[in-house]
Amino acid sequence: MSMSSMLFFFLAQPKSSFLSIVTAFLNIEIFFKSNHIFSPFLWCCLIASISTFYLKKRSKKVYLVDFACHKPLPSSICSKELFIHYLINSGVFKDESINFQRKIIDRSGFSDKTYLPEDSLKIPPIICTLNAEKKETESVIYAAIDELLLKTKMKVEDIDILITNCCIFSPSPSLSAMIVNHYKLKDQVLCYNLSGMGCSAGLIAIDLAKHLLEVHQNSYALVVSTENLNSGGYKGNNKSMLITNCLFRLGGAAILLSNISSDSRRSKYHLKHMVRTHTGSQDSCYNSVIQKEDETNKIRGIALSKDLMSSAGLALKENITTLGKYVLPLSQQLKFASSFVVKKYFNKNMKVYTPDFKLCFEHFCIHTGGKAVQDEMQKVLGLSDWQIEPSRMTLYRFGNTSSSSVWYALAYCEAKGRIRKGDRIWQLAFGSGFKCNTAVWCALRNVVPIEEINPWSDEVHEFPVDV
Ligand X SMILES: *[C@@H]1O[C@H](CO)[C@@H](O)[C@H](O)[C@H]1NC(C)=O
List the catalytic residue out of 245, 285, 363, 413.
363
Q: Is 367 known to be catalytic?
A: yes
3-state secondary structure of 458: helix
Residue 369 as a binder of ligand X (CB under 6 A): the answer is: yes
Residue 207 as a binder of ligand X (CB under 6 A): the answer is: no
Residue 101 as a binder of ligand X (CB under 6 A): the answer is: no
Residue number with CB closer to ligand X (180 or 275): 275
Residue 214 as a binder of ligand X (CB under 6 A): the answer is: yes
Q: Is 230 known to be catalytic?
A: no
d(CA 304, CA 311): 11
d(CA 391, CA 364): 8
d(CA 7, CA 18): 15
List the catalytic residue out of 78, 167, 367, 413.
367
Residue 52 as a binder of ligand X (CB under 6 A): the answer is: no
Residue 195 as a binder of ligand X (CB under 6 A): the answer is: yes
d(CA 46, CA 52): 10
List the catalytic residue out of 69, 78, 128, 199.
199
Of 343, 346, 394, 344, give the one whose Cα is nearest residue 370: 394
> Omega into 74 within 30° of 0, i.e. cis?
no
Residue number with CB closer to ligand X (76 or 438): 438
Give 288-306 as a 3 state SS string.
Answer: CEEEEECCCCCCEEEEECC
Give the C-alpha distances (Å, rounded to integers) separating 124 from 77, 119, 128, 160, 300. 18, 10, 12, 44, 20
Residue 437: CB minimum distance to ligand X, A: 9
Residue 307 as a binder of ligand X (CB under 6 A): the answer is: no
Residue number with CB closer to ligand X (132 or 203): 203
Phi, psi of 250 (to 5 degrees): -75, 135
Residue 270 as a binder of ligand X (CB under 6 A): the answer is: no
Amino acid at 10: F
Residue 303 as a binder of ligand X (CB under 6 A): the answer is: yes
For ligand X (CB under 6 A), the number of binding residues is: 46
Residues 128, 243, 254, 381: which binds ligand X (CB under 6 A)?
Answer: 243
- Residue 268 and residue 65 in contact, taking contact as beta carbons nearer than 8 Å: yes
Active site residues: 199, 278, 363, 367, 400
Residues that bind ligand X in the complex, under the rule CB under 6 A: 58-59, 61, 167, 170-172, 174, 193-195, 198-199, 213-214, 217-218, 227, 238, 240, 243-244, 247-248, 259-261, 275-277, 289, 292, 294-295, 302-304, 318-319, 321-322, 369-370, 400, 402, 432
